[in-house]
Amino acid sequence: MALADGDVPRTRTAVRTFAFTRFRYESVVALAGLAIVWQIVSLFVPHFLFPSVPEIAARLVAIFTSWNSIFDIFATSARILAGLAGAFVCGTLLAVPMARSPAFERYVYPLLNFNQGIPALSWVVIAIIWFRGNEFRIFFIMVMTTLPGFTFQVLDAYRAMSKDLFEMTLAFRPTRFDLLRTLIWPTVLPGILTAWKVNLGNASRVVVVAELVGATGGVGYELLQQQQVFDMAGAIAWTLVLVLFVLIVQGIITLIETRALGYRAFAEHAS
Amino acid sequence: MTTMGSGTPEILFEGVSKSFPRLDGGPVFEAIRDLSFAVGRGELVAILGRTGCGKSTTFNLISGLIRPSQGRVAVQGHDPYGDFAWFRGKIGIVFQSDRLMPWRTVIENVALGLELNKMPQKERLDLAASWLARLGLSGRENDYPHALSGGMRQRVSIARAFAGKPDILLCDEPFSALDEHTGNALREEFRELLRQTGATSIFITHSIEEALWLGARLMVFERPARIAYETVLRTDMSETERQAVRDRIRQVLSVADASN
């Protein structure tokens, strides 16, 4: 049954249905609005600066119908996801002992802060000098640039765990695994999903820089090719491919978030 | 002072002291000093005292959430802090606030202890549903806690504590956060449940009336937690006798206040 305006979903099924409906409409409307604005601007500006939406769409079709281009998209996507996964694992491995040991945190925190001040381009140069393989270079750059974000967010999520709920769960004498499954994981999950969403945007920017400099394939490499032939439609089409990838992954994360954490927004709404 | 309840001691405090260090490096805070008492199997004991007299520290020592600085705490002959896993399924707790997990539905919250005690899913959900029905929450099984009122949420936490049929039930001012009407209604149901289960029960409260109404045995704490007064309440006590107990408790508490 559909919910009327102002109704608050009470059950898990209602929360999931409501969250999915909201996700679909808002995303489509926002993107369609952007395309309309771009098309209007392209009518008044030279096409080599602002190519029309149909022109860009044609380039997009060309990209998605070429196996080489699809391989480039796949390569960039895999690099982003591998880099994020690596940073997530390393960040979690750092965050948990930091949360449990103030002494450890006092040593690691300044190092992470120091790392945050290093520009992505510096990591690119360092990686090129230090390592041989292109893929490992990109992986290293991705991990180093997104590591602090994951670490701080997982750390904050761990620390936000309710002492009351922790004591209540301990009173039932859970095993370590059960404590992790029933309390710690649901508590840190919002922070982890936020970390993935935030770092996904960062990673997509960094991967392009890394590919521009060191790769022989991928979206960054293709963007470099478009720049050399001064092809604005191609540059935008490749950019859109990357944006599309980020939006798809963001959408998947948002869907997971609204389904797994649906109780949260409505709990706040109801209170 | 050592006071034995009837039957085999189920809960035993022997010369227990508990201090907490201060974060600013000042002198330690002494919550309990040389506390000794015993509670027999199936006994219902109400612990009464002013805020900050160490009731909750006593509660946390029995539930094994903290360990004593000195002395010995034994529950069913075991150290509740050290023998962590041994107590799985043996202790049920009703806290002052409901402490429901917001990401779990009502029935999943009730079934939490059963789940951690490795009861099969169907069995534990059936049992949780039966407890919800018993506490008047049929039809709300799949709601999230936020959809319930304060009284309903506390019922869910009571169901969670009772569902595992614990040997020992610990209650830390479970009705203090509720309005008077809801608290009174829930208190009646709660006393009936205690009678039916026969679990050894420790009920912590700062309300004299609640302690008189509920406790078969009553201990009044003064700060740092020591037993300042203790009595056994008979069900056939006359109103005059009960009033005498009330007056004595007030006198003890006012002396404790003055000495603090």
- CATH of residue B68: 3.40.50.300
What CA–CA distance (Å, rounded) separates A193 from B245?
A: 58
Q: In the numeric block, which tokens belong to residue B102?
A: 């917001």
Number of other CB atoms surrounding residue A225 within 10 Å: 12
What is chain A's Cα-based Rg? 22
Instruction: Name the 3-class secondary structure at A243.
Output: helix
- Judge whether B167 and B104 are in contact, CB under 8 Å: no
- Taking contacts as CB-CB distances below 8 angstroms, the residues of chain A near B146 are 263, 266-267, 270-271
Contact check, Cβ <8 Å, B101/A178: no
* Per-residue model confidence (pLDDT) at position A132: 86
**Nearest residue of A to residue B142, measured between CA atoms:** A11
Q: Is B118 on the interface with A (CB under 8 A)?
A: no
Say whether A167 and B65 touch across the interface (CB within 8 A).
yes
Instruction: Please identify which residue in the block is written with the tokens 């080599």.
Output: A48
Write the DSSP assignment of chain B as a string of letters. -----SSSEEEEEEEEEEEE--TTS-SPEEEEEEEEEEEETT-EEEEE--TTSSHHHHHHHHTTSS--SEEEEEETTB-TTTSTGGGTTTEEEE-SS----TTS-HHHHHTHHHHHTT--HHHHHHHHHHHHHHTT-TT-TTB-GGGS-HHHHHHHHHHHHHHT--SEEEEESTTTTS-HHHHHHHHHHHHHHHHHH--EEEEEES-HHHHHHH-SEEEEEETTBEEEEEEE--TT--HHHHHHHHHHHHHHHHHHHHH-
Tell which of B164, B195, B213 closes a domain: B164
Residues of B in contact with A264 (CB under 8 A): 102-103
Residues of A in contact with B116 (CB under 8 A): 169, 172-175, 178, 182
**Average confidence (pLDDT) per 10 residues, chain B, 260 residues:** 56 91 76 89 87 84 91 92 89 90 94 93 94 88 89 91 91 80 78 83 85 82 81 81 87 67
- What was the pLDDT predicted at A221? 87
Q: Is beta strand B70-75 parallel, antiparallel or unpaired with respect to B9-20?
A: antiparallel
Whether B41 and B160 share a structural domain: no
ipTM score assigned to the predicted complex: 0.84
3-state SS class at A11: strand
pLDDT of B255 reads: 66
Which pair of structure tokens corresponds to residue A93? 């491995």
B70-74 CB contacts, 8 Å cutoff, 24+ apart: B70/B15, B70/B16, B70/B17, B71/B13, B71/B14, B71/B15, B71/B16, B71/B17, B71/B34, B71/B35, B71/B36, B72/B12, B72/B13, B72/B14, B72/B15, B72/B16, B73/B12, B73/B13, B73/B14, B73/B16, B74/B9, B74/B11, B74/B12, B74/B14
Phi-psi region of B79 (alpha: psi -120 to 50; beta: other; left: phi over 0): beta
In terms of domains, do B205 and B77 share one? Answer: yes
Q: Is the peptide bond before A186 cis (omega within 30 degrees of 0)?
A: no
| pLDDT, tens only, A119-172 | 888 998 899 899 888 889 989 999 999 999 999 998 998 888 888 899 999 989
DSSP one-letter code for A7? -
DSSP secondary structure letter of residue A46:
-
Do residues B76 and B19 make contact, with C-beta atoms less than 8 angstroms apart? Answer: no
Residue A22 dihedral angles phi and psi, to the nearest 5°? -65, -40
Nearest C-alpha in A relative to B172: A168
Strand pairing partners for B222? B226
A to B CB pairs, distance under 8 Å: 77
- Comparing alpha-carbon positions, the chain B residue that sits nearest to A8 is B147
Q: How far is CA A242 from the centre of its chain?
A: 12
Give residue A89's pLDDT.
94
Say whether both B157 and B226 belong to one domain: no
pLDDT at A269: 47
Contact A263 B116 (CB under 8 A): no
Residue B96 lies in a domain: no
Chain A positions touching B60 (Cβ under 8 A) are 167
Contact B103 A263 (CB under 8 A): yes
Residue A19: per-residue pLDDT: 56
Are B36 and B138 contained in the same domain?
A: no
Residue B108 lies in a domain: yes
B8: which 2 tokens? 């085999």
Contact: B116, A12; criterion CB under 8 Å: no
Asked if residue B150 belongs to a domain, the reply is yes
Examine the domain organization and report whether B137 and B156 are in the same domain: yes
CA distance A108 to chain B (A): 23
Q: In terms of residue numbers, what domain contains B123? A: 102-164
Report the pLDDT value the prediction gives residue A271, as an integer from 0 to 100. Answer: 44
- Judge if B77 and B40 occupy the same domain: yes
Q: Is B197 found in the same domain as B231?
A: yes
- Cα–Cα distance, A171 to B92 (Å, whole number): 8
Residue B2 lies in a domain: no
B186 & B86 share domain: yes
Q: What is the pLDDT of residue B27?
A: 74
Residue at a domain's end among B115, B141, B164: B164
Q: State how far the Cα of B147 lies from the Cα of B138, in Å rounded to an integer.
A: 14
Q: Are residues B13 and B78 in the same domain?
A: yes
Q: Could you tell me which CATH number the domain at A48-254 has?
A: 1.10.3720.10
Answer whether B147 touches A (CB < 8 Å).
Answer: yes
Which residue of chain A has the CA closest to B107? A11
Question: Residue type for A14, please?
Answer: A
Per CB-CB distance under 8 Å, the chain A contacts of B161 are none
With beta carbons under 8 A apart, name residues in chain B contacting A165.
99, 101
Least confident span in A98-107, A117-126, A178-187, B19-28: B19-28
Among candidate residues B141, B164, B187, the one where a domain is terminated: B164
B83 and B15 housed in the same domain: yes
Residue B97 lies in a domain: no
Among B6, B9, B18, CA closest to B221:
B18
Distance from CA of A13 to the nearest CA of B (A): 9
CA dihedral A113→A116→A119→A125, nearest 10 degrees, is: 80
Are B109 and B140 found together in one domain?
yes
SS (H, E, C) A139-200: HHHHHHHHHHHHHHHHHHHHHCCCHHHHHHHHHCCCCHHHHHHHHHHHHHHHHHHHHHHHHH
B70 with B115, same domain: the answer is no
Q: Assess B101–A contact: CB distance below 8 Å, yes or no.
A: yes
Q: Which residues of B205-236 are buried (b: 16+ CB within 10 A; e: fewer)?
A: bbebebbbbbbbbbbbbbbbbbbbbeeebeee
Test mutation, A163, A172, A271, chain B, max B CBs within 10 A: A172
> Does B116 contact A182 at a Cβ distance shorter than 8 Å?
yes
Q: Is residue B85 in a domain?
A: yes
Distance CA(A242)–CA(B156), nearest Å, equals 48
Sheet-wide strand order for B168-172? B91-94, B168-172, B200-205, B44-48, B217-222, B226-232
Tell me: pLDDT of A30 over 70.
yes
Q: Give the per-residue pLDDT at B84.
A: 87
pLDDT at B124: 94
The answer to whether B195 faces chain A, any CB pair under 8 Å, is: no
Q: How many domains does chain B have?
A: 2
Within-domain flag for B61: yes
Q: Do A171 and B91 touch (CB under 8 A)?
A: yes
* Residue B1 maps to a domain: no
Out of B64, B102, B164, the one facing A263 most closely (by C-beta) is B102
Per CB-CB distance under 8 Å, the chain B contacts of A183 are 101
